[in-house]
Amino acid sequence: MALTAVVAIPLVAALLCWLAPLRKFAWVITLISTWTVLPLAVLVSAEVLSKGRVIGLPGWIEADAFGALVLTLVSFVAALASVFAGGYMRRREHEHSRLWWFYCNYNLFAFALLSVPVLTEPNLVWVGVELITLFAVLLVGFEKTNGALEAAWKYAILTMMGAPISLLGFFALFWAYRSAGGGIPETWEGLRMLGPSMDPNLLKLSFLLVFVGFGAKSGLAPVHTWLPDAHSQAPSPVCAVLSGVKTTVPLYAILRLLSIVLASPAARVGNWMIVLGLISVGIAAFLLLQVRDYKRMFAYSTVEHMGIILTAAGFATRGSDFGAVSQMLNHAITKSLCFYVAGIILLALSTREINSVHGLFRVSPFAGSALVLCSLAIAGAPPFPIFLSEYAILSAGVRAEQHAAVAILAVLIVIAFVAILWHVNRMVFGKPTIPYSVESLPVSCRLAVILAAAPVVLLGVYIPVPVHNLLQLAAQQLGGHGP
Amino acid sequence: MADPQTSIPEALNTLCAGLVLISAFAMVATRQVQGVVRFFVIQSLLLSASCFLLGYSRNSRHLWTLGAITVAAKVIAIPWILRRLLPGEFYERREISQAVNIPASLLISLFLAILAEFLVGPVAAANTDPLIRINLPIGLAGVLIGAYSLIARREAIPQLVGILAMENGAFFAGIAIANELPLIAELGVALGVMLIVVVIGLLSRNIRLKLGTTEAGTLSELKEEATSWR
Amino acid sequence: MTETISYNVLQVLFIMGFAPLYAGVLSRLKEIVQSRRGPSIFQSYRDIWKLFHKDQILSEETTWIYRLTPYLVFVIPIFVAILIPVLTDFPLVFAFMGDMLAGGFFLGLGGFFAALAAVDTGNPYGPMGASRTRMVGFLAEPVFMIVFFTVSFVAQSTIPYIVQQKWVASPGAFFSPAHILLLIAFLMLILAEGGKIPVDNPTGHFELAMIDESKGLEFSGRDAALMKWGGQMKFLILTCIFLNVLVAPWGLAHAQPAIGLLIAVPLILFKILLFAIALVVIETSLAKLRLFRISEFLGAAFITSVAAMITSIFPGA
């Protein structure tokens, strides 16, 4: 019951935003819908912890641990982003009459994001991921500047190019399912059970195609080029959702497929995943050294973390799966915080260039300290949660005897760390060059930053037992063997 | 070679397969926007003809509906939407600006078709169903060639048609198994395709309003350049 | 034995005799489609007759190549005619003397000498046309090769008669994508080699734009008649290969008696007439390509033929 409500509420909210008399209240409607969805999602996760599976519509909408985790993440980020969006959009957007379109789109976007983790049929998952892309494109191009249109165009073309490829991959998956005899309804669970008896060639082909198709949407190299552009041009709340969860959801789908492929002993794809993941991390790390725009900086950091998750999944051990899943969680909450901070910097100083920002700490202590906090967190410094999950991944890799990969990964993470902190250092300290704008930061933005910072600070030192259990259960879904 | 016992509908299906491959090549080789759209329409017609033939030979109502959906969506609706949203682009009679010239493009598409056959090779070798042997490689070839035409072209409508051609290719490979897919998945896919067209059409229209052209080469503001180490 | 030799002779006479008629029918049909009356279909015969009775003028600058070429151009199609199925679908006596590759080489030989002769005279238009013809020829070579390879691979033989039997046996084989793609590729090849639109304009008189017509520019009298007749025979040969081997092997005589052969003659003529109508429709609906676009045209033909090869070799292998 709660599960169906989670999916249905944003859809209703979008409809309400569209209705003419209610357009002025679009933001309030969005707030109400996302903040209702969040506790419902937490409820679903709690149920999953106790029962193992939650069934919304039998056969269509079900949640297991991994799905519940992603669902909760999505709802958390969406809720905070809608808080942030209130002040931000009002400040940035000059035509207030267009804002209802933004919120309508935002709700549809949330609907699509929430539906993917809980759909059981892989083909419907494809439809869901495509819908996510479509709404994201509309949101990225919202500001209608030249840069925004270019970013939206690149985004649209690069990701929609992946759509038919992944569709073919899902068809091949269905073929493999039929070659194993069928009988069980085609759901993720059913496919995992049939895994060993499916044609390994078809499985490999299917995985390759789906990986290529969805990888573009997750920002994996070499088709990550849309990410920095989209993130620098889209409104900050949208960026938060994009980076935090929208890149994670296709990766979720890829990891589901990976668990099916790993169930069939004849198909070995782990090493490929490691290599591709390392390529992503490498490209991101080196591009971080020469980035000029701080929103792009955070975008490259997203590419880096997606690569880390992919590498972790490639190690295919239980420890590394746990690392991958916790990295997903930590990245979602940290990255959304980063983009809220980037948003308030943009509001305060109206420039995106790193070189133009100096002495942020003196200009706005709130923004400065938030920036220091979030950049330390995203770069992977202790005592923040990303440090913990990266450590878990590295140690799992060592236990899995992938020494070369672990070494390269560690080096690249350090490079990225140095790059991010160097840029942030230039921004935060020193003498301010740009005069501060007279208006102070909107209340809703400050509130969103504080609310988002809380779990980041908390999870770095203490992981509550239910969260830990949820992560454990989710990791089991990924199908790794060994330590 | 097809064995002599194949029925007429299945033989015609292989004919459609060959012509689908040719229309994919033709889409790469045309110079004008209207030509590209025309060949896309031909390809969609061939796709739906294949659906009807297979539906007839396997007595699957599912395939008949799929064919009908394809005709309605891709042959009728999409060109109409394109004409309404982007009339300026659509009726222009100049050459599409391309990154690679046409004979080289044709050779690359040929190479992609051969690559598709190789990729599907191990799968096809293990399977005796003639449909898997024909539909899957040609579908994959259609996807790859569509992706290439997307990369090589620099304007909005040819790129959009490239995506749709890839969709055609994926579908062509999928109809061999389609009579067991749930209909809702098919409807979802068809809807997705329409939405893709609408979204990209709207985007192109905005770009054209802003920049006067949808030639993507003019969109080059966002680039990463090396900064000095100060 | 004598029967089959006489069948071969009959085959050759068929080609020699009906080539001018074919050319005449083509030009008449084209004129009719353009709402004009056009010359009589027997006009080509009259032209050849007229040319045979005219004086011959040879330039002093020319060599033996110039004098030899008209005879070569005349004899080579006759030679190829012996190798391909024209009236019968069972192999005749000389059918195994050379296969399709040999036939292709001979036609190429004729074209080669024609180009050389055009250069030999020293007239500026000759070499221009010759170089263009060679360009078209060399672009068309790979197409011909790939078509030949695919066809032979599928039929497990290189003799045209046997290919024709295997290839169009069943509907499955006839409609296979390889077959249809080969048809398209070979049709494009015929248009290129025969100098028809869209590659070249056969009725044009403008020397600067001529491709295939230029080879006959310098000849006079008997030489001109031989070149003209040879060119028409070559086109009829190509049509026969296309129709009898690849497309529609119906109407060919099945069995030994001579009656069958004589009945086959009007049937084959009827088939050629249908093809002529199709050809005229293609010619009048397309425009002549610019010179540098010819490489794209033949590139498309090449792609089509390789696609045919892919679809025939890979799935069926």
Name the least confident of A59-63, A252-256, B26-30, B141-145. Answer: A59-63
Amino acid identity of C102? A
Q: How confident is the model at residue B226 (pLDDT cuts 50, 70, 90)?
A: very low
H or E element at residue A443: helix A443-461
Phi–psi pair at B31, nearest 5 degrees:
-105, -20
Task: Tell me how crowded residue C45 is: count the other CB atoms within 10 A of its CB.
Answer: 16
Instruction: Look up the pTM and report it.
Output: 0.79
Selected for mutation to probe chain B from C291, C298, C303, C313 (highest B CB count within 10 Å) is C303
**Mean of the pLDDT values across residues A451-463?**
84
User: Would an 8 Å CB–CB cutoff place B128 in contact with chain A?
Assistant: no
Selected residue with higher pLDDT from C273 and B62? C273
Q: For residue C36, what are the domain limits?
A: 2-313
**Mean of the pLDDT values across residues C196-222?**
80
CA–CA separation, A237 vs A89, rounded Å?
9
**Mean of the pLDDT values across residues A138-154?**
78
pLDDT of C49:
93
Q: What is the pLDDT of residues C21-41, one digit of tens each?
A: 999 999 999 899 889 888 888
Cβ-contact A167, B146 below 8 angstroms: no
Name the least confident of A126-140, A198-212, A246-260. Answer: A198-212
CB contacts, 8 Å: C308 with chain B: 18
Going from the C-alpha of B15 to that of each of A386, B135, B136, B166, C112, the distances in angstroms are: 56, 11, 14, 20, 37
CA–CA separation, B97 vs B87, rounded Å?
18
Q: Is the pLDDT of residue A206 over 60?
A: yes
Adjacent-strand bridge partners of C71: none
Q: C300 and B124: CB-CB below 8 Å?
A: no
Dig out the tokens for A136 from the structure.
């994201």
Give the minimum alpha-carbon distance from C314 to chain B in angstroms, rounded to a whole number.
7
**Mean of the pLDDT values across residues B180-195?**
68
Q: What is the pLDDT of residues A357-370, one digit of tens each?
A: 777 777 778 888 88
Selected residue with higher pLDDT from B182 and A421? A421
Q: How many domains does chain C have?
A: 1
Q: Do chains A and C touch (3 or more CB pairs under 8 A)?
A: no
Q: Is the pLDDT of residue A59 over 70?
A: no
Cβ-contact A179, A200 below 8 angstroms: no
Task: Give the ipTM of the model, two decimals please.
Answer: 0.82
CA–CA separation, C23 vs C238, rounded Å?
13
CB contacts, 8 Å: B210 with chain A: 144, 146, 149
Q: How confident is the model at residue B215 (pLDDT cuts 50, 70, 90)?
A: low
Name the least confident of A83-87, A152-156, A318-322, B203-207. Answer: B203-207
Q: How confident is the model at residue C292 (pLDDT cuts 50, 70, 90)?
A: confident
Amino acid identity of B27? M
Give the minimum alpha-carbon distance from B166 to chain A in angstroms, rounded to a whole number.
6
Cis ω for the linkage preceding B137 (within 30 of 0): no
Using alpha carbons, select from B193, B163, B37, B170 the residue that is nearest to residue A160: B163
CB contacts, 8 Å: B211 with chain A: 146, 149
Q: How confident is the model at residue A144 (pLDDT cuts 50, 70, 90)?
A: confident
Dig out the tokens for B153 from the structure.
């072209």
H or E element at residue A303: helix A294-315
Residues A324, A330, A336, A339, CA torsion sign: negative
Selected residue with higher pLDDT from C166 and C228? C228
CB contacts, 8 Å: A127 with chain B: 185, 188-189, 191-192
pLDDT of C52:
92
Cβ-proximal residues to A468 (8 Å cutoff; 6+ apart), any chain:
none
**SS3 helix, strand, coil % of chain B, rounded to 5?**
75, 0, 20
pLDDT of B175:
76
B110 vs C154, C172, C306: nearest CB: C306
For chain C, the average pLDDT equals: 82
How are beta strands A54-57 and A61-63 bridged, if at all? Answer: antiparallel
Q: Do chains B and A touch (3 or more CB pairs under 8 A)?
A: yes
Cβ-contact B205, B89 below 8 angstroms: no
pLDDT of B170:
85
CA–CA separation, C169 vs C173, rounded Å?
7
CA–CA separation, A317 vs A308, rounded Å?
15
Q: A153 and B203: CB-CB below 8 Å?
A: yes
pLDDT of A147:
75
